[in-house]
Structure 1
């Protein structure tokens, strides 16, 4: 058998072996181990902290309260580290390895704990659904070929260094980059359920995205450049609202009643 044919079969076998499913049942390509993604998340979070100052005090306590309620509902087993960054952009992110970042600009748009939980539930859902792994796996398979993945014994190897360069480590905070519209819509559905299970009112998600639309003045922020439009997003949330409200009512009945105090 020609070596190119053998290589193609090997690459195909690797791809098939690396297929998994998201919590919604959608097939995805995940070529990296949890340990590799956690390491990428750790490095990206460290780079972000080098770029922006952090905020403490009552603001940090408030965000930590909301984030803890959401992550406990996720039952992911992660001990999540939460940081608030002094930045006017209405942004937040969650990274593999258990890292959450919230910009102070988001707190001007998310007017209460339920609206903030909408965003954090969405971002944590990205992690739980392995969207970062899917994105970098697809990018790596497309741009560098599976031969690079096969040669990458670890992130410190030559192949691993190629992957780290591809992922933009040292620029754009590594894997903190836009997800696809499919992934965004999926995170909306999963995040809505997650915030409801944490005891936050899912109806606040509609208000949050209305605020986002007003704040963007007709132009989506850079971090939302590949996201569904606000109108499409709201329609998708409304379609899931009955199920989310049932989860919310069950959570409240079970004693999940978060009371995170927003600083005045």
Structure 2
């Protein structure tokens, strides 16, 4: 009986796999993006209510402009590559929040927030594009869905989100917050090393698709690594060190430049 259960679970996992666009990496996808969105929208609205939104400023409009340019280029590429269903899950929104945090993030569905603390490091719209490409990549690669799928299985042995919410809503909510990179007490948490490096690679290509010079990305990360002095900025408080990130970006530069069409 135990062997049968293992075989059934293995089959279910294989059936519930998806591929990340461009990288082709297989990922667990036992939770549908559509199931996550009500939770995402509620959390995003809460963040906007709890923080001063300054999207109407010059910096805020730059964030919106870059976000729209990158998301449009990415959607056109995804549709061309047969990812129409993925594109239909996006409801892009770009906001700038007043905070000293040197940070930015993107929730599933394309709900993006930048903090004013990161704007001096970006310096210009190409710098914003480096960050935006990276954050958009988390949404395109469905990193939150993957993390939530893994979290539900590891903690509850469940693959249906609605069932999990009914049986243990508190744990499910915590898994959700961790999956989108957010902790109720700790603020925005880091994604895994694997997801961060994948977002770096995809983000480099995405900014190139939108006409931003990807060769500026390693330069941005050099500025970022020195922005916080001895304590790295929150945006760098992820597993890969800045030197490794820069090394990987340079290794992927030729690939990104193939998509680069200056505008």
TM over 0.5: yes
2:227–2:233: 8 Å Cα contact kept in structure 1?
A: no
Query: Are the equivalent residues in 2 in contact too, given 1:153–1:160 (CA < 8 A)?
Result: no
Larger deviation, residues 22-31 vs 190-199? 22-31
C-alpha spacing 1:66/1:60, structure 2 compared with 1 (3 Å) = same
| Alpha carbons 2:156, 2:164 under 8 Å: kept | no
Which of 236, 240, 249 is equivalent to 2:252?
Answer: 240
Alignment correspondent of 2:68: 68
The secondary structure found in structure 2 opposite 1:247 is coil
Q: Map residues 194-205 of structure 1 onto 2, 5 A cutoff.
A: 194-205=206-217
Structure 1 residues 139 and 85: CA distance shift in structure 2, 3 A: same
Task: Name which of structure 1's ranges 108-117 and 44-53 shifts more when overlaid on structure 2.
Answer: 44-53
Alpha-carbon separation, structure 2, partners of 1:245 and 1:196: 7
Q: Which segments of 5 or more consecutive residues in structure 1 lack a partner in the other structure?
A: 258-264
Deviations 1:36-74 (A, max 9, x none): 222232122122213211102322211111111111111
How many residues align? The count is 246
Of 146, 152, 158, which residue of structure 1 is paired with 2:167?
A: 158
SS of aligned partner of 1:164: helix
Determine the structure 1 residue equivalent to 2:81.
none
Instruction: Tell me what 1:112 maps to.
Output: 124
Counterpart Cα distance in 1 of 2:215 and 2:67: 18
Asked if 1:32 is matched to 2:31, the reply is yes
Q: Which residue number corresponds to residue 261 of structure 1?
A: none
Structure 1 window deviating more from structure 2 (153-162 vs 228-237): it is: 153-162
Alpha-carbon shift at residue 8 of structure 1 (Å): 4.1
Distance in 2 (CA, whole Å) between partners of 1:237 and 1:166 is 30
Aligned position for 2:134:
122
Worse-superposed segment, 220-229 or 18-27? 220-229
Deviation for aligned residue 1:35: 0.5
Helix, strand or coil: the match of 2:41?
helix
Question: Counterpart of 1:219 in 2: which secondary structure?
Answer: coil
> C-alpha distance in 1, partners of 2:246/2:134?
13
Give the superposition deviation at 1:228: 1.1
Q: Secondary structure at the residue paired with 1:90? A: coil
Partners of 2:187 and 2:99 lie apart in 1 by: 19
**Length-normalised TM-score, structure 1:** 0.83
1 CA distance for matches of 2:67 and 2:30? 29
Contact kept in structure 1, 2:133 and 2:203, CA below 8 Å: yes
Question: In the alignment, which of 135, 145, 149 is matched to residue 156 of structure 2?
Answer: 145
Aligned with 2:122: secondary structure? coil
Instruction: Flag the structure with larger Rg.
Output: 1
Provide the rounded CA distance (Å) in 1 between the counterparts of 2:175 and 2:186.
9
**How far off its partner does 1:13 sit?**
3.0
Structure 2 CA distance for aligned equivalents of residues 108 and 6 of structure 1: 57
Gaps of 5+ in 2: 76-86
Q: Does 1:53 find its partner at 2:63?
A: no
Give the deviation of 1:224 after TM superposition. Answer: 3.1
Measured after TM superposition, the shift of residue 245 of structure 1 is 2.4
Which range moved further: 103-112 or 156-165? 156-165
Q: Secondary structure at 1:32's aligned position in 2? A: coil
Question: 1:156 offset after TM fit, Å?
Answer: 5.3
Match of 2:223 among 211, 225, 248: 211
